[in-house]
Amino acid sequence: MDFLRDHSIQNELFLIFISVFLGLCIGAEREYRNKSAGLRTFILVCFGACLFTILSIKIGVDDPDRIAANIITGIGFLGAGVIFKGDNKIDGITTATTIWATASIGMAVGSGYVYLSLLGTVLVLLILSSLNYFQKYIDRNHKIREYKIVVSSKENLDYCEDLFKVNYLKFEIVRQQFSKGSSTTTWILTGKNKRHEDLIQQMMNDEKIDSFQF
């Protein structure tokens, strides 16, 4: 009996160390990209999910999925903490979903599905790294950016539209503010990243554009 108990403890410790290692792998990738949740966060998420799963199997004999279900709920609150609104988009969603996926990997380890957790870790790292280049490709060819442009008269709004058309940028007015002697318009422009850079250079040297920001 003592031998079986010692063997069980060694097996559980082995699973815990695996969860720490897998959390470290994912956390290192997030730390490298300087995301809001880094190395220690992912190690603790994976380790905590693993340990809670082991405990749910041990103490929840009649209802082992009760604690496991609450792990998912707790991870949901944790992930919500890294989501915040940027200037024109929501940031942190990828980090939040990575935390969620890391918890599932920790649960797989705690349940004894080591090979499944290893496969999950490899897939997470592939998605975060390789698809990042694909995302950059899309961003280069379909860049969406918000501009706030100040001009001296309302008539210059038509001039701005002509400027966008010359640079092959699709445009949409978000809001406008008029005051004596000037008007401020917020635009959403869509097009290739190079077209945006060309537009910025033109507006910097354009006397009809009083000021702009993006």
Report residue 1's pLDDT band, with 50, 70 and 90 as the boundaries. low
Where do we find the tokens 């406008």?
176
The residues pairing with 143 across neighbouring beta strands, listed in sequence order, are 191
How many independent structural domains does the chain possess?
2
- What one-character DSSP code corresponds to residue 34? T
Domain harbouring 162, CATH code: 3.30.70.260
Share of the chain above pLDDT 90, in %: 33
Identity of the residue numbered 84: F
Q: 13 or 182, which is more confident?
A: 13
Identity of the residue numbered 16: I
- What one-character DSSP code corresponds to residue 142? S
- Helices and strands, number each (H, E), in the chain: 7, 6
Same domain for 149 and 128: no
Same domain for 200 and 169: yes
- Among the three residues 91, 123, 140, which one is the final residue of a domain in this structure? 140
What domain range is 188 assigned to? Answer: 142-213
Report residue 4's pLDDT band, with 50, 70 and 90 as the boundaries. very low
Q: Which of 64-73, 74-83, 130-139, 198-207 has the highest mean pLDDT?
A: 198-207
Same domain for 112 and 72: yes
User: What are the Cα distances from residue 38, in Å, to 2, 9, 26, 96, 154?
Assistant: 40, 30, 9, 11, 48
- Among the three residues 140, 162, 180, which one is the final residue of a domain in this structure? 140
pLDDT in tens, 112-160: 999 999 999 999 999 888 877 787 888 888 888 899 999 887 667 888 8
Same domain for 178 and 119: no
